[in-house]
Amino acid sequence: MRKIEHIGIAVKNLEESNDLFTKLFGAAPYKMEKVASEGVNTSFFMNGPNKIELLEATNEDSPIAKFIANKGEGIHHIAFDVEDIVSEIERLKGEGFIVLNEVPKKGADNKLVAFLHPKSTNGVLIELCQEIK
């Protein structure tokens, strides 16, 4: 696993949060993307070398809707950049982590992604992501 690729924050209203984070960083999101398979609308901000992803649920069954219902808005996941997501999934399974996506799936922002269950990572949802070249 390499650097933190981004931090994901669950929000109730993406439009309002886009305005808020635009004020915070002094720059608008560089990308907005709907991921229909996950039931989320996302936006991405760069601040220096750091990337923040905002996630809004598009329906009640979305994992983001469930997260907000349980915990409220806030940090939802930490994503780490990996060179080879398939071998990293194998390695982490071997170490006893619960991998939620044994086959990586297409995520937002041109990435292949897989998640580790927070039960196996001290309550923090971990996303592995590999840039699609």
Q: What is the binding site for Zn ion (CB under 5 A)?
A: 8, 53, 79, 127
Nearest-approach distance from CB 56 to Zn ion, in angstroms: 13
Nearest residue relative to Zn ion (C-beta): 8
Give the phi and the psi of residue 46 in degrees, each rounded to 5. Answer: -105, 135
**Which residue's CB is nearer to Zn ion, number 44 or number 97?**
44
Nearest-approach distance from CB 38 to Zn ion, in angstroms: 10
**Which residue's CB is nearer to Zn ion, number 8 or number 29?**
8
Nearest-approach distance from CB 111 to Zn ion, in angstroms: 8
**Which residue's CB is nearer to Zn ion, number 53 or number 56?**
53
